[in-house]
Amino acid sequence: MLLFDLGKLPEQQSMLIFHVLARMGVESLVIVSPKSPLVSIGYFQDAEQEVDLQYCRGSGIPFMRREVGGGATYLEENQIFYQLIWKRDNSGFPKAIQDAFPWFSEAPVETYRSFGIQAEYRAINDIITKGGRKIAGEGGGDIGECMVFVGGILLDFDYQAMSKILKVPDEKFRDKIFKSMEENLATMKRELGTIPPREEVVAVLKEKFERKVGRLEPVSLDKEIIGKMKELESWMTSEEFLHKKTPKIPKAVKIREGVEIYYGLHKARGGLVRTVEEISGKEIQGITISGDFTFHPKEDLNGLEKSLGKAPLEKDRVIEKVETFYGEKGIESPGVDSKDIAMAILNPVIEPKSDRE
């Protein structure tokens, strides 16, 4: 298998490379980082709904859609990407992409462990620390006659920048995403207190992958590959490809496997009810309730939010929790009852269209 240890490439080139190699049928491992930030949008996402493209344009942050799944993410030089490409009929590699995740994750897991971070693979596509924080997200799919598997070693991560590139209904939702990422995403700097030298991390990563996939033969980009990257860039950064409709559109922002942030909206007789909730294991871990309705005593709204913590994501249980709190505190919210709040929580949306109607 060929090894492309490419250091840092200009923006989109760091993502274009594995698309090109897969189309060419070149079985290889690519290790690369982007020289400057860019936004990578998952293949099954609606770019307009998921990413604040206007903010990205105004901030000079390039963006592109990739041909593997997963969510939109902010990429920059403190992330070391590993990209594996192999032919579908190669008997030495997993046939199904779901089998590739645990198989290939062994190398990055062992890399983290070599630096003293107790990491482990967790289905479906996360690597987590001993404390349960996500320290790598991975993706995979098929391109041409090849399969691809991609992921990244997080030396450090800009949580604030990530929260800014996402298209969100309001700033409360953005703030919730930022805080949840801080709580749930780990980096080598966060775990170790410092960032190890990039070359040392890359050396270990190559060694671990070589043990897994066999001898790696170092090569450089040639004129043919560079030419095909330029050709593909014009398509993959085009408006047509960016806005291509695909069948799978998520309704939440995934922080890590099992933890997602939802935005809820429901028009009740007494006003509009908005909720921003963090969901983990089909339970409400935290929630913010707002809107243009009346709630008395107003000081008890925080108490209602706290009472919903750990509540199962089930209509009857949510209604029961709200009714119990209303009864104990003597809450009055004309035109907004327990069912209305449950409807907001259980009918999540990303784009609050009712606000404009």
Residue 251 lies in a domain: no
Q: Is residue 145 part of a domain?
A: yes
The residue to which tokens 């709630």 are assigned: 295
Q: DSSP secondary structure string, 177-192?
A: HHHHHHHHB--HHHHH
pLDDT value of residue 357: 36
Same domain, 63 and 177: yes
191 band by pLDDT with thresholds 50, 70 and 90: very high
Number of structural domains found in the chain? 2
The answer to whether residue 178 is domain-embedded is: yes
Whether 232 and 315 share a structural domain: no
Classify residue 224 by burial, with Cβ atoms within 10 Å: 0-12, 13-18, 19+: exposed
In terms of domains, do 322 and 205 share one?
no
pLDDT of residue 94: 86
Please determine, for residue 248, whether its predicted confidence score (pLDDT) is greater than 80: no
Q: Are residues 96 and 146 in the same domain?
A: yes
* Radius of gyration for the alpha carbons in the chain, expressed in angstroms and rounded: 23
Given a contact cutoff of 8 angstroms between Cβ atoms, the answer to whether 257 and 123 are in contact is yes
- Which residues 6+ apart lie within 8 Å of 32 measured at CB? 4, 6, 7, 8, 9, 14, 17, 80, 81, 83
Give mean pLDDT, residues 99-107.
91
The C-alpha angle with vertex 125 and arms to 174 and 214, in degrees rounded to 5, equals 135
Residue 318 placed within a domain: yes
Say yes or no: 71 and 206 in one domain. yes
What mean pLDDT do residues 222-244 have?
A: 92
pLDDT at 352 over 60: no
Res 294: pLDDT: 76
- Both 295 and 336 in one domain: the answer is yes
The reply to whether 352 falls in a domain is yes
For residue 247, whether the previous peptide bond is cis, meaning omega lies within 30 degrees of 0, is no
pLDDT above 90 (res 297) = no
The distance of Cα 266 from the centroid of its chain, to the nearest Å, equals 26
Indicate if 298 and 237 belong to the same structural domain.
no
| Burial grade of 269 (CB within 10 A; 0-12, 13-18, 19 or more) | exposed
| Helix axes 198-213 and 97-114, enclosed angle (nearest 10) | 140
Question: What local confidence, expressed as pLDDT, does residue 183 receive?
Answer: 92
Report the pLDDT value the prediction gives residue 246, as an integer from 0 to 100: 58
Q: Is residue 17 part of a domain?
A: yes
What span, in angstroms and rounded, lies between the C-alpha atoms of 250 and 52? 16
- Write the DSSP symbol of residue 253: E
- Predicted confidence band of residue 245 (pLDDT cuts 50, 70, 90): low
- Residue 13's domain comprises 2-242
Which of 208, 242, 276 finishes a domain? 242
> What percent of the chain has pLDDT above 90?
58
Q: Are 231 and 300 part of one and the same domain? A: no
Domain boundary among 242, 277, 299: 242
CA–CA gap between residue 234 and residue 257 (Å, rounded) = 33
Say yes or no: 183 and 307 in one domain. no
Examine the domain organization and report whether 219 and 306 are in the same domain. no
Clarify whether residues 102 and 34 are in a common domain: yes
- Helices marked H in the chain — which ranges? 13-24, 47-50, 53-59, 97-114, 159-165, 171-184, 188-192, 198-213, 223-236, 239-242, 301-307, 315-329, 338-346
In a domain, 252, yes or no: no
Helices 223-236 and 13-24, axial angle in degrees (round to 10): 110
CATH of the domain at 280: 3.30.390.50
Q: What are phi and psi of 116, to 5 degrees?
A: 90, 10
pLDDT tens figures, 68-86:
877 789 999 999 999 999 9
| Average pLDDT of every residue of the chain | 89
User: Is pLDDT at 300 greater than 60 in this prediction?
Assistant: yes
- What pLDDT score does 356 carry? 34
- Rounded CA gap, 249 and 168, in Å? 15
- Domain end (from 214, 242, 270): 242
Q: In this structure, are 40 and 140 located in the same domain?
A: yes
Domain of 168, CATH number, reads: 3.30.930.10
Q: What is the pLDDT of residues 115-140, one digit of tens each?
A: 999 999 998 788 999 999 999 988 88
Length reported for the chain: 357
Residue 50 lies in a domain: yes
